[in-house]
Structure 1
């Protein structure tokens, strides 16, 4: 993903604003799905550790 630098007084056109919003929404969805995978992995690892402690 690229980096966009905004300076004071810079404004986006409607087209650019919508494109940027779409890009950010897509990135957010990707991050949320990755976070769900990480949470699932951590819960599996956490359950394994808890089971070992009980023994």
Structure 2
């Protein structure tokens, strides 16, 4: 009788997939640009909220 179940074997077989799977975009631009664009979005959103009187 085989004691190895499919559920126990699944994490070992998915390890390579999990390490290579990414949710972000390509890494061809610098990290600082991503941070600057993110903070710019925060500032623009804050300006919009204050100008419309939502806060």
TM more than 0.5? no
Q: Which has the higher contact order (CA 8 A, sep 6+)?
A: 2
In the superposition, the TM-score normalised over structure 1's length comes to 0.44
* Bigger Rg over Cα: 2
Structure with greater helix share of residues: 1
| TM-score, length of structure 2 as denominator length | 0.44
